[in-house]
């Protein structure tokens, strides 16, 4: 059963990194039964690193890992850094499966999500002045 690894940029601000952890917990509650768990990793400024998170997942018995870059656009991190890190790990885990998913900004559902966020009912719940 595959697990999910959400990769975020990472921040020097711990509250921002905690948001990713809370997001992973929320995602886990919405997973279809075909997916077993959600983990997080950070590109920089926070731990665990991508390499450490993947190694930990595989060392703890996960055989199939879906890697989701939590980025809105295909900058250098999405097009180079994350794929290169994953490619470098593949030889270390010949009996494991690593699948790099499209970054969230490339997902078709993102347009719907943004459109829904702009609906009047959504805006009524936002703090004043924002």
Strand 97-100 vs strand 64-69: parallel, antiparallel, or unpaired?
Answer: parallel
Q: pLDDT per residue over 40-94, tens digit each? A: 999 999 999 999 999 999 999 999 999 999 999 999 999 999 999 999 999 999 9
The 3-state DSSP class for residue 33 equals: coil
Residues 1-55 have pLDDT tens digits of 899 999 999 999 999 999 999 999 999 999 888 788 999 999 999 999 999 999 9
pTM score, two decimals?
0.89
Confirm whether 35 is domain-assigned. yes
Hunting for tokens 């039964």 — which residue is that? 33
d(Cα 106, Cα 71) in Å, to the nearest integer?
9
Expressed as residue numbers, the domain containing 108 is 3-123
- Does residue 129 register a pLDDT over 60? no
CATH of the domain at 115: 3.40.50.1400
The count of structural domains within the chain is: 1
């Amino acid at each position: 059963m595959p697990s999910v690894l959400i990769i975020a940029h990472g921040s020097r601000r711990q509250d921002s990194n905690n948001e990713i952890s809370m997001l992973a917990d929320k995602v886990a509650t919405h997973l279809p039964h075909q997916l077993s768990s959600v983990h997080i990793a950070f590109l920089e400024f926070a731990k665990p690193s991508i390499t450490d998170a993947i190694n930990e997942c595989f060392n703890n018995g996960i055989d199939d890992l879906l890697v989701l870059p939590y980025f809105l656009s295909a900058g250098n991190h999405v097009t180079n850094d994350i794929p290169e890190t994953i490619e470098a790990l593949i030889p270390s885990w010949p009996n494991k499966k690593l699948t790099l998913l499209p970054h969230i900004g490339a997902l078709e559902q993102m347009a719907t999500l943004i459109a829904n966020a702009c609906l009047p009912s959504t805006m009524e719940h936002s703090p004043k002045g924002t």
